[in-house]
């Protein structure tokens, strides 16, 4: 029997800790509500540090198009979508977004 647990409390560090210790995926995708600011999490001081931890734990950390740690920052407050967690879960999420 497959049981799915969801946790959403807006604390990226706590949620990523849970993903690292129990498996799963953390997603904060782009939204279309504000075209001026489609993503919420900042690349340099939110996405990159946790992406490094996730990848060192043999997981994956991607935006909706590319690996987070491969992004060359364009400015200090650059924002990106975040999809990070276990390799299989991230791959499944990226396949879904590609076929959407």
- What's the confidence (pLDDT) of residue 21? 87
Would you say residue 88 lies in a domain? yes
What's the domain count of the chain?
1
DSSP string, the chain: --------SS-HHHHHHHHHHH--EEEE---SS-TT----EEIIIIIHHHHHHHHHTT-EEE-SSSBGGG---SSTT-EE-EEEE-HHHHHHHHHHHHH-
Would you say residue 16 lies in a domain? no
Q: Please state whether the predicted TM-score (pTM) of the whole model is above 0.85.
A: no
Would you say residue 95 lies in a domain? yes
pLDDT by position in tens, the chain (length 100): 445 555 555 678 888 888 888 888 999 888 878 877 888 889 998 999 999 999 999 999 999 999 999 999 999 999 999 999 999 999 999 999 888 7
Would you say residue 12 lies in a domain? no
Would you say residue 58 lies in a domain? yes
Would you say residue 4 lies in a domain? no
- What's the confidence (pLDDT) of residue 7? 55
- What's the confidence (pLDDT) of residue 68? 97
- The residue range of the domain holding 36 is 28-99
Nearest C-alpha neighbor of 68 from the set 90, 98, 95: 90
Would you say residue 9 lies in a domain? no
């Amino acid at each position: 029997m497959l049981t799915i647990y969801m946790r959403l409390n807006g604390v990226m560090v706590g949620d990523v800790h849970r993903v690292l210790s129990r498996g799963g995926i953390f997603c904060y995708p782009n939204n279309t509500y504000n075209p001026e600011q489609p993503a919420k999490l900042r690349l340099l001081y939110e996405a990159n540090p946790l992406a490094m931890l996730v990848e060192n734990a043999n997981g994956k950390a991607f935006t909706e198009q590319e690996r987070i740690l491969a992004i060359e920052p364009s400015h200090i407050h650059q924002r990106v979508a975040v999809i990070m967690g276990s390799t299989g879960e991230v791959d499944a999420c990226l396949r879904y977004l590609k076929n959407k």
